[in-house]
Structure 1
Amino acid sequence: MADAEADNDAGDLLVWPWTGILATTATAADADAATTLASHAHRRFAGVTTTALLEEPKPTNHQHRRRQQYLLLHFSKSCGEVGRFLRESGAAARSVEDVEKEEGSVAAGLAAVAEKYERREKFLEAKNEEMVKMVQRMEEESRLLDVDLKELKAVAEYSLPEMNNGADEENKKLREELEAIKQEIGFRVDRIQELKERKTDLHWSKVEKLVVEINSLDMADIKPEASDHAQKLHDKHKVEMEAINAQIIQLEMQLVQKEALESAICLLNTKLQAGANLRMEEYEHLYKLMANWKECLEQKREIFQNAYVDLARRDHLNRYELQETRQELIKCFESMMINDCAAVGIEKMGQLDEKPFNYACKRKHRDDDPEGKAARLVSSWQEELNNISWNPFITSLVDGEVKDIVNEDDPKLIQLRTEYGDNVCNSVKVTLRELNEYSPQGRHAVNELWNFKIGRKATIGEVVKYVFKQLKARSYWQNTGSCGMSPI
């Protein structure tokens, strides 16, 4: 056993298991060997303190045995044979700190594995709960389906007899409707006969009336006048009779077509309800009836369309004449001297009201020429309003109609409201609406007849009444010798 290369002064703590070589004395009589072994027990190998020499106590049976002594020599740091043996066998000395680190690393790994398995366990538990809920839901749906199936079976068992009875009731209802149609046809025939009789009675009554009127005339004195009167009565009677005949013929035609169509439809419905197949002749007959009915409808449509075109033309002419009359009245009012108290007069639509601008400038520029600033502000905004490129309108649906309304979020209007207030901004918006209504293309102010008493555009009737009232008042004042003038 070789000596240690150096003493161990660091005092490092060593841990189990111990690694070493067991040294044994061969005989109990060899004192030198025991001494040598004991001396080696206190030697330090490669900085590691060895253990003390352990001696086995003597046997109690006083038999002759060898006394064995043991020495545990440590580790592979010795440079002798023991160290070389330990190094070759792979033994190594470790400190408490190394062991703690290794155990901590192993514990951390085991904790991570445990956490992973815990997460897996929670995931599996959640899946298990989800599957349990799904199974419960499927069981509930299956139960509901069973209930619905039972209800459907009950309804089917109850409804099938009623459906069979319903077919009989439907046939009975169709027979009643057919009987009602027959009664209606009979009523229409009686009505036509009544109209024919009334036509004959009316004809003879008018003839008798005409004869009485002719006989009552004084033929000697007013023969030409009676002749003219009789001719007028005859012409009038002829026109009335033609109108009545035309109406009767039209009613008869409509009645015949309607009766034929209704009877054909009833017959076809009856056959279809009975499940019978229609013959080609029946299809052709129905087609002819539908064609005749379509032709009548086309004639009516043409009549109504012509009437609509005529009404539209007349309406256009009337509007044109009213517009001309309105323009003439505007010219007349423009040439007249009208005071501020007049109930009807001329209003410039699309021209800014200067009052809100004057008030705002007096409030904002009290000591800095408010009148001049107000005039310049009105002039600049009037030019801005007349600018066609500025379009502060948005299209919106108002009361079911698509209209152009002023955009409240227009940047110019927002800036004007911020600087001069709501009254000035509202005045500009009112002027914008007037320009969009009366002059959307040119954007210029136009004169309009205005009812100042009500605050709206005056109608032609209101203007005419007002003018006649003023003329009547002026005539009265002139006749009474008054020097005053009527306000007009």
Structure 2
Amino acid sequence: MTEFLCFSFFEKKKTKNVSSFCCCMFVHPWKGIIANIPTTVQDGKHVGESGRKLREDLTEKGFNPLRVQPLWNRYGHSGFAIVEFKKEWDGFNNAIMFEKSFEMEHCGKKDYNSSRRQRGKLYAWVAREDDFHSRGLIGDYLRRNGDLKTVSSKEAEEQRMASKLVVTLSNTLETKNLRLKEMENKYNEVSQSISTLMEQKDEMIKAYNEESKKMQQNAHDHFKKISLEHERIAQHFCDKKRELEQREKELFQREAQNEAATKNLQHDKMMNERAAFEQKKMDERMLKLAEAQKREKEKLHRKIIELEKQLDTKQALELEIQGLRGALQVMQHMERDGDAEGKRKMEAIQGELQEKEEEMGDLEDLNQALIIKERKSNDELQDARKELIITFKDVSTRAYIGVKRMGELDIKPFQTAAKRKYSAVEADVKSAELCSLWQDYLRDPSWHPFKILTDKEGNSKEILDEEDEKLIAVKTEFGDEVYTAVTMALAQMNEYNPSGRYIVPELWNFNEGRKATLTEGVQHLLKQWKQYKRRRH
């Protein structure tokens, strides 16, 4: 790789020069330096060409830089910029081509350091060791954002990484083979366990059915016994009643002769009727209890059977799919042996697995239909929300519910900051210019001052990079109020439209400072309509 790069860049040079080039120390990631950028003084600050414009010019020339970062000091634009290229070899190739292009036009580093340097002409070169250790903005930036490497050390580093990757892949392959053997053994154990469980399950179902039949027969015999006993007792009381009635007639005939006997007979009759009534109530209670017990048993039995069928169907299907998948993995691993019988078994298992998965898919169709219905309802709600946003676009922000333009800068902090630095006449113009400038920065997708943080559980979160140079500059120059307005609009832009970076209207609850619900929007619209209707009448 080193020999190829050296030859491609210096094919017209001597072998000695190629060797010295490969040993030369460059700043990595590869960076270039642009010097002598023309600047003008505006409002006491030096202003020069933006990094985006320089990057577009270099891209058109085929150097493919990642970004161009102008260097700023307390006087404004320093006239220098750092060009950042990709870390890989194609980035190094672009960096060298970038340097050679300027050298061919006599605009290299030597030309810049000579006394014949021309004002208003750009000079550029690739950042090396002397630039890295230099004092000033360039050295500070390079030491902060890179380190020194030779082309040979970069190639050696990549070779070490490749060797490490080969060793890692070899260890991984060995581990996977051991894991495959473990899975095969585990599959055999699971298959045996499943067979044993299925046999035990069949025996338990058989025993349960026999016990259930036995319980039903016992309940039927018990109820029949209770019914016969009730009929016997009822017949006994009927006979007793007829006997007492006959005796009552006889006693009435003998009333004059035996009043005491009549009273005893009436007492016996009353006690017998009370006992018969209590027995009747007890019989009715026993019948109701028996019927309720019978209904509960039948209901419980039906529910148990239904649940067992559902559970058996699902468990059997899942066990069959799991078993077939395990068998299929083992068969696929054994396919390399060329066993025709094994291949036929694998094809049969694949067919059976496909049928089981289709059955499982049928069970999921209902869930999918519900998901589609929910998605359709959600789309309708989103359409209604869009209509409300269109309706409230022209409503004043003093209203309870209205439309907020997410990502749009508030000009008030800029006006406050401008009044501190400029006169009352210039403050309005300067604040409008500053607000417009930072709104352009917000719309630039290449400016993404965010960083990713990952916690101990592996969850990632994107937060604002407070060390970004632009954010530090705006906070230092204009204060916390402007910094807060810029970061708030930047967060809204990143949340609502991170790719397009343009302003998005949102239905907003201005009283509580949050996104309004659809219900709140509709209620507010109805309230306005009622007020309008009262004014008309």
TM range (shorter): 0.3 to 0.5
Per residue, is there more strand in 1 or in 2?
2
TM-score normalised by L of structure 2: 0.35
Find the structure with the greater CA-based Rg: 1
TM-score normalised by L of structure 1: 0.38
